[in-house]
Structure 1
Amino acid sequence: MDFGIERVTLDKRHHTVSLTAQGALTGTMQVNLHWTARAPEPSRPSAREMWRRLLNPNPFKPVELTSAASEPLAVDLDLGCMYEMTDGSKGVIQPLGPYMGDLQHPPYIKLSHDDRSGAPTGEMMYIDMDKRDQFKRLLIFVYIYDETPAFDRTHAVVTLFPTAGPRIEVRLEERAAEARSCAVLLLQNRGNGEFTVSREVRYVYGFQAELDRLYGWGLQWQRGYKPVGG
């Protein structure tokens, strides 16, 4: 999806941008997660398959090989946000459990829907920047739902669409084969009207609770499941 031409890509060298400087502190900011499956890499034949080739009685008839690399990839990435308000309240927005959020009431953050297939629209979250004085910090993260391939099997992009200035993009391109979650962006109210966005891209091998410990959020976590067909 494309909401405009101007774009800022945050990377290891240029990792922080000021929303204040670009006048993007009002209105509803959109956060989009979009992903596609990486093309499967060809796998090397096993020793058993090599022997089958050598012992093939008809050298002109190819041996049919099975390869996991040819199987379709089922990828289910989820977008989430841990929030900490200036009054000390904390919580999470995510598509597990009753935590889709609320744009009209605290925490003024809402997840639109849960995309399970990497559709062109992806997953969208909305943040009311008119309530920015009530935000202390927001951690935008992505995690992989249970029993799906890891980050090295996808091309994922998280993009912020402020109401003013260029869109802000972070690509999750590291081959973190065993990681299950990734802290992507940290939005911080630094006081005196300064609000910044910083690239994190920190992969962890666990789920939200491990991200919580990494950033010292202090929430209580329990196992959650998505409704069947939801």
Structure 2
Amino acid sequence: MSAPVILTKGSPTVSLAKHGAASGLIRVNLNWASPKTAAERRATEATGFFGRMKASLRAGAAKEVDLDLGCMILLADGGKTVVQALGNSFGSVHGYPYVALDADDRTGASAGGENLVINLDHQAEFKKLLLFVYIYGGSGDFRGLDAVTSLVSDRGDRFEVHLDDSPPGARGCAIALIKRQRGELVVEREVRWFTPQQGVSVHEAISRAYRLGMSWTPGRK
């Protein structure tokens, strides 16, 4: 596998077609380190009685954080939908909307993280795919979570977006926008942060910011 292409502020855009990812499946992976999981790992690695005791106390006080990966989809025919764990909207790879979420990692402990799969064989039906992440459960924000989103094609090409500059209080992030441009799909790094506002959910705030025109109701998972 070749070295990953890291999308940065200075170089935020990449063409999937120019990297040979014009068909097949592309996997979008979200991986992060939960503060509690990291503290528990340090506790198992601590040495000495007092070192283990301090590490265990820190692990006990650390908070779990549940990040959820999602995709807001605007289709070429004007249809719109969202794929996410909230509301059990896991989607489908081989049927509408040709985007699916494989699982819900609630702790950040899973080595595989959370994965969205996009079927590029149906890319002509896509207008915009907005990849986003939000904190479903747990206190705090994104700081210290070391969250990374990777897009990996069937042939092994890898594109990465690092979520490493979160402001205090952010509970959601628009990661990247995949859109049709001159007949091909391009990925554009966004890393645009959102904090809760009275009466407006993070989902709605993201949708409004990108003029996706979606309606939102409270959901559970």
**If the length of structure 1 is used for normalisation, what is the TM-score?**
0.80
Q: Which moved more, 1:156-165 or 1:110-119?
A: 156-165
Match of residue 14 from structure 2: 17
Per the alignment, in what secondary structure is the counterpart of residue 36 of structure 1? Answer: coil
Q: d(CA) in 2 for partners of 1:153 and 1:222?
A: 30
Match of residue 36 from structure 1: 33
Residue 162 of structure 1 deviates from its aligned partner by: 1.5
Per the alignment, in what secondary structure is the counterpart of residue 157 of structure 1? Answer: strand
Which of residues 130, 134, 138 is equivalent to 1:139? 130
Q: d(CA) in 2 for partners of 1:146 and 1:31?
A: 21
Q: d(CA) in 1 for partners of 2:70 and 2:166?
A: 21
Q: d(CA) in 2 for partners of 1:203 and 1:72?
A: 24
Identity %: 40
Per the alignment, in what secondary structure is the counterpart of residue 32 of structure 2? Answer: strand
The 8 Å contact of residues 64 and 138 in structure 2, kept in 1 or not, is answered as no
Which of residues 160, 168, 172 is equivalent to 2:151? 160
The 8 Å contact of residues 184 and 202 in structure 1, kept in 2 or not, is answered as yes
The 8 Å contact of residues 91 and 101 in structure 2, kept in 1 or not, is answered as yes
Residue 148 of structure 1 deviates from its aligned partner by: 3.1
Comparing both structures, which one devotes a greater share of its residues to helix? 2
Q: d(CA) in 1 for partners of 2:104 and 2:144?
A: 20
Matches within 5 A, 1:177-188: 177-188=168-179
Which of residues 83, 89, 94 is equivalent to 1:99? 89
| 1:24 partner amino acid | A
Corresponding position: 1:121 with 2:112? yes
Q: d(CA) in 2 for partners of 1:211 and 1:152?
A: 19
Q: d(CA) in 2 for partners of 1:175 and 1:82?
A: 21
- Higher Cα radius of gyration: 1
Q: d(CA) in 1 for partners of 2:193 and 2:207?
A: 12
Residue 159 of structure 1 deviates from its aligned partner by: 0.3
What does the per-residue CA deviation read over 1:171-194, in whole Å, with 9 as the maximum and x for residues that have no partner? Answer: 1001322011100010001243x2
**If the length of structure 2 is used for normalisation, what is the TM-score?**
0.83
Matches within 5 A, 1:170-181: 170-181=161-172
Residue 6 of structure 1 deviates from its aligned partner by: 2.0
Q: 4+ residue stretches of structure 1 with deviation over 6 A? A: 67-70
Aligned residues: 197
| 1:223 partner amino acid | P
What does the per-residue CA deviation read over 1:121-180, in whole Å, with 9 as the maximum and x for residues that have no partner? Answer: 100110000001000010000000144331014110000002246300011001322011
Q: Which moved more, 1:168-177 or 1:134-143?
A: 168-177
The 8 Å contact of residues 34 and 107 in structure 2, kept in 1 or not, is answered as no
The 8 Å contact of residues 22 and 164 in structure 1, kept in 2 or not, is answered as no
What does the per-residue CA deviation read over 1:199-228, in whole Å, with 9 as the maximum and x for residues that have no partner? Answer: 0000011311100000001111011122xx
Q: d(CA) in 2 for partners of 1:153 and 1:74?
A: 12
Match of residue 84 from structure 1: 74
Q: d(CA) in 1 for partners of 2:7 and 2:19?
A: 15
Runs (5+) with no aligned partner, structure 2 = 40-53, 197-201
Q: d(CA) in 2 for partners of 1:164 and 1:18?
A: 15
RMSD between aligned residues: 2.0
Runs (5+) with no aligned partner, structure 1 = 41-63
Match of residue 222 from structure 1: 217
Residue 9 of structure 1 deviates from its aligned partner by: 0.6
The 8 Å contact of residues 77 and 142 in structure 1, kept in 2 or not, is answered as yes
